[in-house]
Structure 1
Amino acid sequence: MLKKILGGLAAVLLILVGVIAMQPSEYTVQRTATMPVPKDIAFALVNDFHRWNDWSPWAKLDPDIKTTFGGAQAGVGATYAWVGNEKVGEGKMTILESKPDELVRLELEFFKPMAGVSETRISFKAVEGGTEVVWAMSGANNFVGKAMCLVMDMDQLIGKDFEAGLANLKTVGQAEATKRAEAEAARVAEEKAAAEKATAEAAAAAGAQGQPAVARPTP
């Protein structure tokens, strides 16, 4: 009887291993969002790891997370490493390619809770209404990854985080765009006030000398 039970268990395990082995050997997760901001604003928030905590979907999952920045200040060679709780784990990101206002390509290394390496691409394209941002990640499924596919694949696991991150990026980007517009409006107003002041002073000086003032156009 015991041999039959053990034999049955062995058969079940072999079937399970076979089913796991048949799962996809690679995965891809991709999400897209359109943001009412210029490309350069969205790009800058991604190209500089120091800005990631402003919009990253994982930033607030562990208030005690330890982060380390290395390499370049931004762009190719910049690194971002983190050690956190079970929700964020431990890993490192490195920017491998950076095309201004077009693309940021990263290597994403996970150390804990499950080791793995993925390539992440965040691209930017001007469209009607602002900028289309595409966040995509791809990698290889090892045996553990394939086993997880039986319960939840990477698209289900990571996709919702990408959606949250893009929503956060949109909010932060809009705030940056508003600041830029306000700064530009203030600059124009300052230049206009300076021009009007110069015109008034010229008129006053001409009047004091009994000469007609030379009109200066006000932008």
Structure 2
Amino acid sequence: MKTFLKILLGVIAALIVIMLLIGKKYHFETSTVINAPADKVWQHMSSMKAFNQWNPFMDLDANVKVNYSGNPGLVGHQYCWEGNDDAGKGCHIVTALVPNQKQSTKMLFEKPFESDATSDLILTPQGNSTKVTWTMDCELDYPMNLMKFFMDSQMEKSYGSGLQKLKVIAEK
């Protein structure tokens, strides 16, 4: 029994050390190249309605309720959503815009748990094409920060599918 308790305490101590070492900050980014000029790509991300045409999170609930407010194409434009358990509830707000170059947003999640994150869509011209980089930054409380080890593959799956949808739309 003493050996079991020592092993258990050792495992718990190791998990605590790992949690502290990996920290709370999480950053993810992925990119794709779209065969269209930046101004054409920008048309599909300059407003929240345009963004939601390819936003992979809209696929989580076919019946999600979305409410837009603010002025499209301007800082402060936002949409709030409420959906099933997968989609959750929250708001996505434009915090900065540099036409044909960058859109910055803040995401405020209410359900399934409260959190927030920031996200950037960055356009980089490459000849007649445009590299689109999509980033997300957030902080994960302890012990949720242990999820970092599994998040990149999930983020790549959703952000990657969104960028592929954007590519199809912008290349038409």
2:158 paired residue number: 161
Q: How far is 1:44 from its partner?
A: 1.9
Point out which structure has higher relative CO (alpha carbons under 8 A, 6+ apart): 2
Asked if 2 retains the 8 angstrom alpha-carbon contact of 1:28 and 1:155, the reply is no
CA distance in 2, matches of 1:96, 1:22: 31
Deviation sequence 1:27-67 (CA, Å, 0-9, x none): 11111111111211211211211122321112222111111
Q: Does 1:108 align with 2:118?
A: no
Give the TM-score normalised by structure 1.
0.70
Structure 2 CA distance for aligned equivalents of residues 144 and 66 of structure 1: 32
Q: CA deviation at 1:86?
A: 2.3
Equivalent pair of 2:46/2:72 in contact (CA under 8 Å): no
Which residue number corresponds to residue 30 of structure 2?
31
Does structure 1 residue 65 correspond to structure 2 residue 80? no
What amino acid is aligned across from residue 149 of structure 1 in structure 2?
K
Higher strand share: 2
Partner of 1:121: helix, strand, or coil?
strand
What is the TM-score normalised by the length of structure 2?
0.87
Aligned partners of 1:72 and 1:78 also within 8 Å: yes
Change (3 A) 1:162 1:24: same
1:132-151 alignment runs, 5 A limit: 132-149=131-148
Aligned twin of 2:16: 17
Hey, what does 1:128 align to over in structure 2?
127
Instruction: Give the drift of 1:147.
Output: 2.7
Residue 133 of structure 2 aligns to a residue whose secondary structure is strand
Q: Please report how far the alpha carbon of residue 172 of structure 1 lies from its aligned counterpart in structure 2 after TM superposition.
A: 0.9
The offset of 1:119, in angstroms, is: 1.3
Name structure 2 gaps, 5 residues minimum. Answer: none
Contact kept, 8 Å, 1:21 with 1:146, in 2: the verdict is no
CA distance in structure 2 between the partners assigned to 1:145 and 1:12 by the alignment: 17
Q: How does 1:166-205 map to 2 (within 5 A)?
A: 166-175=163-172
Cα root mean square deviation, aligned: 2.1
CA contact (8 A) 1:83 1:89 kept: yes
Which structure has the larger Rg over C-alpha atoms? 1
Q: CA deviation at 1:25?
A: 2.2
**8 Å CA contact 2:92, 2:105 repeated in 1:** yes
**Cα deviation code 1:162-188 (max 9, x no counterpart):** 11111000111122xxxxxxxxxxxxx
2:60 counterpart SS class = coil
Counterpart of 1:47 in structure 2 is 46
The one-letter code matched in structure 2 to 1:31 is T
1:104 partner amino acid: Q
Cα shift at 1:76: 0.6
Structure 1 residues 58-107: Cα deviation after superposition (integer angstroms, max 9, x where no partner): 22221111111112222211011111122222221111110110110111
Partners of 2:103 and 2:148 lie apart in 1 by: 28
Q: How much does 1:135 deviate?
A: 0.7
